[in-house]
């Protein structure tokens, strides 16, 4: 204590103020929140889900049927190539007489027949498929059927009465017993039959001859157009036979036999 001198001279000992602890608070920096950055979230990103493709696919919302324009199969006629059509050949019909043979002469007394004379006809089919064929024979007497001066005729043992009267025969029927026979393309048929010749007056036609005409009828359906001598020789038969035959040139064959030798 420093003695403060009073004017009164009395030395009053003034107590020396104890060092006032001037508590100058040196602001001890309260722990300066040294912004110790809270561990800056070193953006340790939450573990990126390692897309281990255990793709448990949660069923994606089934797309509600978006009106997808479903192309309705319009029946487009797609020509599916079928089997290549094989070129078909048009049917061709042709029956022919290729041979006719009869006796060359016949010796005749009045009213006495010359019997067992053989007449042979060979027919052939030139159709491009199997076809029925009939062969007819017509016997035009010496001097012609119009006047028939010698009264001549033929008789076929296997013929019908009408055929012997008309002197025209379905030779297929007379020889084989059937009106027509089916021939394959190129096939031939030989018909051999017996004919008896006679004249009531052979001297009137001595030296003259019969005309024997063979007719091939493809399909065998025209005998009614050929079953008289007039039809067979005046063209009616040819019209009937040719209407369904594609080659008219070979349908008939005529032989001027036999010749009459009057005795």
Q: Which residues are registered as beta bridge partners of 4?
A: 12
Copy the structure tokens of residue 134: 């009939």
Give the mean pLDDT of 96-122: 97
Does residue 77 carry a pLDDT above 90? Answer: no
What is the residue extent of each domain of the chain?
95-262
Q: Which two tokens stand for residue 59?
A: 């069923």
Share of the chain above pLDDT 90, in %: 66
**Backbone angles phi and psi of 166, in degrees to 5:** -80, -15
Cβ atoms of residues 33 and 39 within 8 Å:
no
- What's the gap between Cα 73 and its chain centre? 29
Q: DSSP states of 203-231 as a string?
A: GGGTT-B-EEEEEEEETS--GGGTSSHHH
Instruction: Please write the tens of the pLDDT for every residue from 221-258.
Output: 999 999 999 999 999 999 999 999 999 999 999 999 99
Residue 235 near residue 248 (C-beta atoms within 8 A): no
Provide the 8-state DSSP code for 145: T
More confident position, 40 or 239: 239
Q: What is the DSSP string of 73-126?
A: ----------PPPPPPPPP---EEEEEEE--SEEEEBTTB-EEEEEEEEEEEE-
Task: Please report the pLDDT score of residue 75 as a whole number.
Answer: 52
pLDDT tens, residue by residue, 159-202 = 999 999 999 999 999 999 999 999 999 999 999 999 999 999 99
| Integer Cα distance of 181 and 76 in angstroms | 52
pLDDT at 167 (0 to 100):
98
Q: Which residues pair with 106 in a beta bridge?
A: 260
More confident residue, 212 or 85: 212
Please write the tens of the pLDDT for every residue from 5-30.
Answer: 343 333 334 333 433 333 333 333 44
Q: In percent, how much of the chain has pLDDT > 70?
A: 67
List Cβ neighbours of 40 (8 Å cut-off, separation of 6 or more). none
Q: Which residues of 90-104 are buried (b: 16+ CB within 10 A; e: fewer)?
A: eeebbbbbeebebbe
pLDDT at 89: 86
pLDDT of residue 88: 78
Identify the band that residue 79 occupies on the pLDDT scale cut at 50, 70 and 90: low
Give the integer Cα–Cα distance in Å for 114 and 112. Answer: 7
- Residue-level pLDDT at 48: 45
pLDDT exceeds cutoff 90 at 70: no
Give Cα 37 distance to the centre of its chain. Answer: 97
DSSP run (H or E) holding 161? helix 161-166
Assigned fold of 95-262: Immunoglobulin-like (2.60.40)
Contact 228, 150 (CB under 8 A): no
């Amino acid at each position: 204590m420093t003695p403060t001198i009073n004017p009164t001279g009395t030395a009053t000992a003034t107590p020396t103020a104890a060092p006032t602890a001037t508590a100058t608070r040196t602001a001890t920096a309260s722990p300066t929140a040294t912004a110790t950055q809270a561990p800056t979230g070193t953006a340790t990103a939450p573990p990126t889900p390692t897309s281990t493709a255990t793709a448990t696919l949660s069923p994606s919302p089934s797309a509600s049927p978006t009106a997808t324009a479903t192309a309705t199969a319009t029946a487009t006629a797609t020509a599916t190539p079928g089997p290549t059509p094989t070129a078909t050949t048009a049917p061709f019909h042709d029956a022919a007489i290729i041979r006719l043979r009869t006796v060359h002469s016949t010796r005749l007394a009045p009213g006495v027949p010359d019997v067992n004379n053989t007449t042979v006809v060979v027919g052939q089919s030139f159709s491009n498929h199997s076809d029925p064929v009939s062969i007819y024979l017509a016997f035009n007497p010496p001097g012609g059927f119009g006047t028939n001066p010698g009264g001549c005729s033929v008789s076929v043992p296997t013929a019908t009465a009408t055929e012997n009267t008309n002197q025209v025969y379905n030779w297929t029927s007379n020889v084989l017993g059937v009106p027509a026979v089916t021939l394959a393309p190129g096939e031939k048929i030989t018909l051999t039959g017996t004919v008896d010749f006679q004249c009531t007056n052979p001297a009137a036609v001595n030296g003259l001859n019969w005309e024997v005409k063979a007719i091939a009828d493809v399909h065998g359906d025209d005998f009614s157009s050929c079953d008289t001598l007039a039809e067979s020789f005046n063209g009616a038969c040819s019209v009937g036979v040719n209407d369904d035959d594609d080659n008219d040139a070979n349908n008939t064959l005529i032989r001027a036999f036999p010749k009459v030798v009057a005795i």
